Amino acid sequence: MASHDLQEPLRAVAGFCSLLKNKYEGTLDERGRKYVDFAVDGAHRMQKLLLGLLEYSRVNTRPVQRLSADCNQLLSEAVENLRVSVEDSGAVVAHDPLPTIHADPTQIVQLLQNLVSNAIKYCYQDPPRIHVAARRDAHDWTFSVSDNGIGINPDHCERVFVIFQRLHTREAYDGTGIGLAICKRIVERHHGRIWVESAPGEGSTFFFTIPA
């Protein structure tokens, strides 16, 4: 409720800052224009953070549906939702045959989408190559999402799942630090675990389990 209610006054701040910029740009000096730009940028960033927080809280407040969910289809949906960034980056998203699991389809799409979207974003070579696979043991399905991106220092592999923790500046890679915290919540709501194995420059593989 708090993040929902905060959106209203923030919309007013963002809206009036934009109006100020558009209407008075000609009468402001360079410094004045810069200040207004900072204010507009700050308000937009706050809006993004609030939307992220809302999404994060909704993972727990919405009842989890347990349906039979074909992960091949859910991955296609996730990739379709990312169509613009897939096309812009030329990313190649491949996958092994994936299982049908008992899970909340909307949340699994969100989980796969966050992981694939990060795999595209934290990339340094063309094209980003992403591979999704799943293997089964006695109790669980273990999914993996691998990329050929910048990788993560093993010392930081736990920190990335904590809300607002980022390893880069916004100038280097845009983001809010909420995506992986959402992934962790979704996996834990399904009684699974999530972790990453990586090394700098070696790509990353994110793993998560879902009880079979």
Q: Report if residue 175 touches ligand ADP, rule: CB under 6 A.
A: yes
89: Cβ–Cβ under 8 A, 6 or more apart, which residues? 120, 123, 127, 128
Size of the site for ligand ADP (CB under 6 A): 20
Q: Report if residue 111 touches ligand ADP, rule: CB under 6 A.
A: no
Cβ proximity to ligand ADP: between 40 and 111 the closer is 111
**Residue span binding ligand ADP (CB under 6 A) among the ranges 55-63, 83-91, 169-177, 185-193:** 169-177
Cβ proximity to ligand ADP: between 40 and 182 the closer is 182
Q: Report if residue 209 touches ligand ADP, rule: CB under 6 A.
A: no
The binder of ligand ADP chosen from 118, 146, 148, 209 (CB under 6 A): 118
DSSP codes of every residue in 70-98: EHHHHHHHHHHHTHHHHHHHT-EEEE---
184: Cβ–Cβ under 8 A, 6 or more apart, which residues? 161, 194
The binder of ligand ADP chosen from 59, 108, 122, 128 (CB under 6 A): 122
**Residue span binding ligand ADP (CB under 6 A) among the ranges 20-28, 80-88, 114-122, 186-194:** 114-122
Question: Residue 206 burial by CB count (10 A; 0-12/13-18/19+): exposed, middle or buried?
Answer: buried
Cβ proximity to ligand ADP: between 21 and 166 the closer is 166
Q: Report if residue 177 touches ligand ADP, rule: CB under 6 A.
A: yes
Residue 47: C-alpha distances to residues 14, 43, 81, 208 (Å): 9, 6, 21, 30
Q: Report if residue 150 touches ligand ADP, rule: CB under 6 A.
A: yes
DSSP codes of every residue in 164-178: T--SS-TTTS---S-
Q: Is the dihedral of CA 114, 119, 122, 127 positive or negative?
A: negative
Nearest distance in Å: CB 57, ligand ADP: 15
Q: What span, in angstroms and rounded, lies between the C-alpha atoms of 115 and 95? A: 14
Cβ proximity to ligand ADP: between 14 and 182 the closer is 182
Residues that bind ligand ADP (CB under 6 A): 118-119, 122, 147, 149-152, 160, 166-168, 175-181, 204
